[in-house]
């Protein structure tokens, strides 16, 4: 089947200024036509009645841990791609902090090979800034980018060495790729288990101050201004970080940033009585920080919503809070949590779609993110008012670590199309293998 006709969908395409009822024709894996008038169905085309649903550019997640190679018990490229398309994501950027670090072309090629075999969504590897993520010696960035890496990052670990950080910002300008940073001053966060505040005091847990993130953001913005590179700040969690990034953008620096759904949804009180499912890095912050993140989503300071999908096994979380491993899975709950802001009146539908699609595509210069004729037919169909209850045991991800189990969300993916092929429909995968 080479043609698909979507009829009477509410098409939301922020890049092209479209928000209204349209017919969309897909031919040979690309968008052929977007029309206010009803389009005739080509012979042998599949016709999808999308009345009452949103048809939007396929979501792109800039921050996903697929765990392969090395920790396939937590996730694989295949299971991660299954989870992605179930959440409406047609593209994901795979972090390099696997147990065999992606600091060489061989590992990059392995990830891409596994993605081709999965044949579900686009996987864009990110390469390590430093060899072995040790923060001591630059990786072979040119080799990694030639092999298919779209960004450089030591995500999971901060680049504490300012000299190394300056060099990678300089070197990356040769390839015009972003340097993605996990901002954490380890001398300030060492020994901390959660955000430093009233909740950490009540629980008797050592806290991580906001300054652990904000100080590193400030340092790297100074280096960015000097090197004229491209900086992408991962999982921003603090009001102070937002303020610095906003000011840097006004000065014309090439800085972008992302916020994760858990950081704009929950504050540190979600830790409750030592719930390790609410343990992550950076930690859940204060209600003041949550408010600041939401404001930054609205005013354009934040460029993308990214999940920081971090699968872990049951044994990693069933321990004392201080010993629990940081991270939660997020691909299958991201849309519902984002649309909660729409239903609350914080975000417009157009802005929410932009943060999940066009924004991420622009940040890392990826294909997709829009629906102009000729664009890849990477499409997500959304039922915006459908209520559902999060059941971690039904995730397509191999892991279950989420603080949102049992929460009712409004807004669900009904179909995901990649390159004009339906890969997820009505709760079921459509795998071609």
**Active site (catalytic) residues:** 308
Measured distance CA(28)–CA(15) in Å, rounded? 22
| Cα-to-chain-centroid distance, residue 402 | 16
Rg (CA), the chain: 21
Contact 9, 24 (CB under 8 A): yes
Measured distance CA(311)–CA(288) in Å, rounded? 28
161 annotated to bind ligand: no
103 annotated to bind ligand: no
DSSP 114-171: HHHHH-SSEEEE-B-SBGGG-SSSB--HHHHHHHT---EE-TTS----HHHHHHHHHH
Neighbours of 171 (CB within 10 A): 18
Can you name the residues that pair with 422 across neighbouring β-strands? 417
Contact 89, 60 (CB under 8 A): yes
| Tokens linked to 114 | 């596994």
308 annotated to bind ligand: yes
182 annotated to bind ligand: yes
- Please compute, for residue 343, the number of CA atoms within 13 A of its CA located in the half-sphere on the CB side: 13
63 annotated to bind ligand: yes
Pairing of strands 255-259, 231-233: parallel
114 annotated to bind ligand: no
Pairing of strands 122-125, 46-49: unpaired
Contact 39, 393 (CB under 8 A): no
- In 152-311, DSSP assigns E strands to 152-153, 179-181, 194-195, 207-208, 231-233, 255-259, 304-305
262 annotated to bind ligand: no
65 annotated to bind ligand: yes
97 annotated to bind ligand: yes
From residue 386, give the alpha-carbon distance in Å to each of 29, 84, 409.
28, 19, 8
Contact 120, 433 (CB under 8 A): no
Residues in binding site for Zn(2+): 63, 65, 155, 182, 235, 308
Residues in binding site for substrate: 65-67, 97, 312
Residues in binding site: 63, 65-67, 97, 155, 182, 235, 308, 312
């Amino acid at each position: 089947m080479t043609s698909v006709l979507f009829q009477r969908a509410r098409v939301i395409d922020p890049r092209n200024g479209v928000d209204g009822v349209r017919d969309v024709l897909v031919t040979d894996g690309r968008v052929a036509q977007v029309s206010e008038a009803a389009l005739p169905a080509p012979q042998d085309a599949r016709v999808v009645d999308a009345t009452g649903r949103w048809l939007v550019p396929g979501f792109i997640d800039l921050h996903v841990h697929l765990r392969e190679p090395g920790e396939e018990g937590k996730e694989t490229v295949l299971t991660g791609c299954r989870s992605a398309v179930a959440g409406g994501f047609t593209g994901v950027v795979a972090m390099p902090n696997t147990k065999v670090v992606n600091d060489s072309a061989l590992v990059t090629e392995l990830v891409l090979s596994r993605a081709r075999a999965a044949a579900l969504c686009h996987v864009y590897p990110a390469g390590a800034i430093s060899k072995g993520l040790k923060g001591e010696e630059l990786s072979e960035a040119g080799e990694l980018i030639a092999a298919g890496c779209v960004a450089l990052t030591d995500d999971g670990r901060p680049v504490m060495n300012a000299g190394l950080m300056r060099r990678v910002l300089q070197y990356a300008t040769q390839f015009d790729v972003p340097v993605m940073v996990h901002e954490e001053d380890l001398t300030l966060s060492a020994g901390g288990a959660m955000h430093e505040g009233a909740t950490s005091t009540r629980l008797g847990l050592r806290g991580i101050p906001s300054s652990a993130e904000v100080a590193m953001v400030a340092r790297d913005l100074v280096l960015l201004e000097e090197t004229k590179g491209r900086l992408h700040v991962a999982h921003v969690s603090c009001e102070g970080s937002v303020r610095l990034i906003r000011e840097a953008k006004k000065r014309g620096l090439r800085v972008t940033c992302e916020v994760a759904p858990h950081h704009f949804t929950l504050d540190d009180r979600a830790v409750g009585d030592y719930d390790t499912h609410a343990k992550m890095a950076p930690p859940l912050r204060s209600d003041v920080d949550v408010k600041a993140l939401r404001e930054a989503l609205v005013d354009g300071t934040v460029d993308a919503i990214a999940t920081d999908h971090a699968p872990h096994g049951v044994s990693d979380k069933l321990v004392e809070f201080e010993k629990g491993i940081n991270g939660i899975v997020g691909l299958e709950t991201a849309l519902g949590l984002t649309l909660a802001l729409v239903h609350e009146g914080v975000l417009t539908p157009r802005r929410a779609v932009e943060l999940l699609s066009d924004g991420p595509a622009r940040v890392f210069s990826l294909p997709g993110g829009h629906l102009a004729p000729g664009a890849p037919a990477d499409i997500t169909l959304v039922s915006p008012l459908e209520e559902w209850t999060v059941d971690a045991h039904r995730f397509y991800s191999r892991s279950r670590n989420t603080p949102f189990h049992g929460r009712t969300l409004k807004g669900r993916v009904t179909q995901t199309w990649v390159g004009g092929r339906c890969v997820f429909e009505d709760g079921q995968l459509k795998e071609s293998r």
